[in-house]
Amino acid sequence: MSPVRRSRTPRVPHAREGTRSIVARSAHSAGILLFRHSEDGGLQVLLVHPGGPVWARRYEGAWSIPKGELEPGDDARACALREFEEELGVPLAASQLLDLGSVRQRGGKVVRAWAARGDFDPRTLRSNTFTMRWPPRTGEVVEFPEVDRAEWFDLGEVARRINAAQAALLDRLVEQLSAFPS
């Protein structure tokens, strides 16, 4: 996990001040749902917890698949692979990705997802970072890891942790795996 860095900057409008955001955010994201089978044969999936002070004490419903914003002209599959590497710090071999389709989150963002069989040691997490003014209205800019934790969850626990809209991706993964058992 990256250390938090602070710096003073001149006062500029906060991205949420006024009626519109200064920075346009993409309404589309792409990501990878990594899965594996545990020693007892149960299915486990890897989820990430968003970094920064806004998410610091949120657990249930806050976890997500590793994903990121899809820029205009981006190939969604390539974006998902890039974001996986940026958020976890390791590349994913793209040999076999299962298409899970898209889901629409409560705020309107559409998440396009694929699943991949693999393994990842959460202790090796090396996420990219972002900056934001923190605390609000202080003019102080702080750097935070985009992802502060990654964990493997079995299907019973993952349903409580994952963003509610992304739960449909789990159902689709289970359907695909039962149709094509390995």
Q: CA geometry: angle at 167 spanning 91 and 76, to 5°?
A: 40
Residue 8 domain-assigned (yes or no): no
pTM, two decimal places: 0.82
Q: What is the pLDDT of residue 181?
A: 62
Residue 7 domain-assigned (yes or no): no
Farthest CA pair distance, the chain: 58
Find all residues with CB under 8 Å of 87, minimum gap 6, and list them.
Answer: 48, 66, 67, 68, 127, 128, 146, 147
Q: What is the pLDDT of residue 61?
A: 79
Number of domains in the chain: 1
H or E stretch covering 151: strand 147-154
Q: What is the pLDDT of residue 24?
A: 46
Q: What is the pLDDT of residue 48?
A: 97
Q: DSSP for 79-143, please give it.
A: HHHHHHHHHHSS----S--EEEEEEE-TTS-EEEEEEEE----GGG----EEEEESSTTS-EEEE
Q: What is the pLDDT of residue 15?
A: 39
Residue 171 domain-assigned (yes or no): yes
- Which residues of the chain, if any, have pLDDT below 70? 1-26, 94, 181-182
Q: Judging by DSSP bridges, how do beta strands 28-37 and 140-145 pair with one another?
A: unpaired
- CA-to-CA separations, 40 to 44, 154, 155, in angstroms, rounded: 11, 11, 13
d(CA 38, CA 151): 13
3-state SS of 160-171?
HHECHHHHHHHH
**Listing from the earlier edge strand, what are the strands of the sheet with 5-8?**
5-8, 140-145, 129-133
Burial of residue 18 (number of CB atoms within 10 Å: 0-12, 13-18, 19+): exposed
Residue 2 domain-assigned (yes or no): no
Q: What is the pLDDT of residue 56?
A: 78
Find all residues with CB under 8 Å of 77, minimum gap 6, and list them.
Answer: 30, 94, 97, 114
Residue 4 domain-assigned (yes or no): no
Residue 5 domain-assigned (yes or no): no
Residue 9 domain-assigned (yes or no): no
Query: Which structural domain, as residue segments, surrounds residue 82?
Result: 25-179
Residue 15 domain-assigned (yes or no): no
CATH of the domain at 94: 3.90.79.10
CA dihedral for 142, 146, 151, 153, sign (positive or negative): positive
